[in-house]
Amino acid sequence: MILRSDHRTTRVCAIYARVSDESQVHGDSLEHQIAYAREYARRRATDADEIWLAPDELVYVDEGITGLSMVKRPAVLRLLDDAKRGRFDVLLCKGISRFARDTVDALTMLRLLLACGVRVLSIEENFDSDRDRAEFVFTIHSALAQAESEKTSVRVRLGAMQKARSGRWNGRPPDGYRLNRETQRLEVDREEAPIIRQIFAMYRAGLGCRAIAERLNRQGIATPNGKLWSQRRIARILQNPVYCGEIVYGRRTKRMRFRRGQFGIVERRSDWVRDEAEIVHVFEAHPAIIDRETFAAVAHCLEERRSHRGRVGSVHLLVGLARCVCGGRLVTKENGRHTLYYRCARQAEYGRSACNAPYVRADDLEQAVIQRVREDVLTYLPLKDRLIADRPLYRQVTEVERSRIVAQFEKLFAAYASGALSLEQFDHLNGPLRERLASLEAVSEGSDNHEQEASLDDFILSWLTVRPYDSEYTSVQRRILAALVHEVRLTSFDPDISVSICYTFSAL
């Protein structure tokens, strides 16, 4: 967006600033980076007799973001979106290391910005994308920044490991402790420690993590940062050996891997892994709040409960689609008689202090939703011009059915190969499957055959029925429901279940 005013060129500048941890970048804070870029713009304007503007709304900041991941940074995503819309024509950053420390990420960003007509200036390296061989120079600087980032990461980790070996604490103090700034060791917080002891006592008495969180919230006892206690926070406390005087550092270590990412480019990404050689375990590093016997007993109870959890990996029809009246997600809960319910995730995490909605039987809610969707689909599916035009929906549905038919064919062939079916039986059972598969192929290829489209409509409706739980059936049904429904909102419980549904296509 280059403007001309008073016979002078006006350049609209964006500024990008980032710190991963301000405690590690003393002297390179966000404020310093932004001020540095603005001063540079002022000097360039004076030297070139131009007007360089850097408005506040074009300052993009990522705070507390590690240097190796670019595509997940929220400010970068906003920056690219604004660049595509032509909101600025120059991007200023203090240094390429602040921009992106992964060479591939940095080069990808540069090319995307150049494609949008944006000029990139990095002040520390005196880099200007308008110069000759700009991409080559930029790549060299990016590679150096990446190497320095990796060396810094190793140095920081080795320093933290040595600090842990000496009994000093890395990071923020856990609940129940405060950090002595001089010795860097944990000391018992006399106000918070009784709450920690109460949590362990309640768990040994038979209360679960959610019940403990709910009781603390009901008693008006807040967390050290003034928030509600959550099931997750209670679980972390009960599993943390810090409370019996131990420091365990490095239980998870980042390992680099490569995968195909955004824009089809192979990207470096990190995974958390457990490496026993990297773990530092120090006993009696600080005063204990809980004795070892209590901690061991609680650890045993946690393991027992973990081994008696419900079905792992079960597919439930409305998880991820349905929301409570309070706006929280609905999750599932199975009682002792194996009856499945939906409940509010906020209530599950924080207790009834966060949401007082009752549990809803899964079959009742699913039947209400499916019945409502069937009615709406029956009303709108005949509107071919609106719905058939949405080919992605039909392609998704046909793919689901095709997968099911192929699976049935494989079972039939296995039975025939093992001798359980004769050739005549195999042909008799396989014939309808082949016909159905051919019918689906005709629809997916864009056939205008109205019989094929009507058949597909019938197929959609045939899956919108409630059946006894079957993981394979529910998985297919869920994919079809997700293709039709964007969100289900529970609006009332009493006297009957009432829902509002937002669909994925505009006709509804």
Angstrom distance (rounded) from CA 395 to CA 120? 42
Q: For residue 383, what pLDDT band results from cuts at 50, 70 and 90?
A: very low
Q: Are residues 99 and 138 in the same domain?
A: yes
Q: How many domains does the chain have?
A: 3
Residues 218 and 119 occupy one common structural domain:
no
Contact indicator for 385, 453 with CB cutoff of 8 Å:
no
Work out the average pLDDT over 463-474. Answer: 57
Q: What is the pLDDT of residue 172?
A: 92
Residue 184 and residue 137 in one domain:
no
Please report which confidence band the pLDDT of residue 385 belongs to, taking 50, 70 and 90 as the band edges.
very low
The candidate with the shortest Cα–Cα distance to 15, out of 3, 31, 27, 4, is 31
For residue 370, tell me if it sits in a domain: yes
DSSP 58-89: GEEEEES--TT--TT-HHHHHHHHHHHTTS-S
Q: Which tens digits make up the pLDDT trace of 406-460?
A: 878 888 888 878 888 888 888 888 888 888 777 766 655 555 555 545 554 555 5
What is the predicted pLDDT for the residue at 66? 54
Same domain, 263 and 372: no
Final residue before a domain boundary, out of 292, 307, 322 = 307
Answer yes or no: is 339 within a domain. Answer: no
Residue 171 lies in a domain: no
61 with 194, same domain: the answer is: no
Under the banding of pLDDT at 50, 70 and 90, the label for residue 184 is very high
More confident residue, 64 or 367: 367
- My answer on whether 240 and 131 are in the same domain is no
**DSSP reduced 3-state for 102:** coil
Check whether residue 255 and residue 382 sit in a common domain: no
pLDDT class for 57, splitting at 50, 70, 90? very high
Task: Say if residue 87 is in the same domain as residue 36.
Answer: yes
The residue whose two tokens read 């499916």 is 370
Instruction: For residue 441, give every residue at least 6 positions away whose Cβ sits within 8 Å of its Cβ, in sequence order, or none.
Output: none
**Residue 235 falls inside a structural domain:** yes
Would you say residue 384 has pLDDT above 60?
Answer: no
Q: Select the highest-mean-pLDDT range: 150-164, 270-284, 306-320.
A: 150-164
Could you tell me the pTM of the whole model?
0.54
More confident residue, 21 or 350: 350
Averaged pLDDT for residues 472-485 = 72
Check whether residue 142 and residue 205 sit in a common domain.
no
* Nearest alpha carbon to residue 245 among 212, 206, 280, 292: 292
**189 and 122 inside one domain:** no
Point out which residues pair with 322 in neighbouring strands. 488
What pLDDT, in 10s, does the model give residues 25-48?
445 788 889 999 999 999 988 887
Q: In angstroms, how far is CA 380 from the centroid of its own chain?
A: 34
**Quick count: other Cβ atoms within 10 Å of Cβ 414?**
11
Please spell the DSSP secondary structure of 421-489, one letter per residue. S-HHHHHHHHHHHHHHHHHHHHHHTT---HHHHHHHHHHHHHHSS--S--HHHHHHHHHHHHHHEEEEE
502 has pLDDT over 90? no
Under 8 Å between Cβ of 397 and 456: yes
Domain boundaries, position 376? 363-503
On the 0-12 / 13-18 / 19+ scale of CB atoms within 10 A, 446 is: exposed
Using the CB atoms, write b or e for 30-64: b if 16+ within 10 Å.
beebbebbbebbeebbeeeebbbebeeebbbbbee
Q: What is the pLDDT of residue 389?
A: 44
Per residue in 308-318, pLDDT tens?
554 444 568 88
Residue 83 within any structural domain of the chain: yes
338, pLDDT greater than 90: no
Same domain, 394 and 436: yes
Amino acid 238: pLDDT:
96
Tokens of 459: 């197929």
Choose the final residue of a domain: 105, 124, 146. Answer: 146
pLDDT of the residue at 166? 92
Q: Give the three-class secondary structure for 279.
A: coil
CATH classification of the domain holding 92:
3.40.50.1390
Q: Is the pLDDT of residue 67 over 50?
A: no
Q: What is the pLDDT of residues 97-113, one digit of tens each?
A: 777 767 887 888 888 89
Task: Tell me, yes or no, whether 123 and 245 share the same domain.
Answer: no
pLDDT tens per residue, range 114-143: 999 999 999 988 999 998 788 888 888 888
In a domain, 367, yes or no: yes
From CA 376, how far away is CA 460, in angstroms rounded? 12
Q: Taking 70 as the threshold, does the pLDDT of residue 323 lie above it?
A: yes
**Residue 455, domain member (yes or no):** yes
pLDDT value for 212? 92
In a domain, 383, yes or no: yes
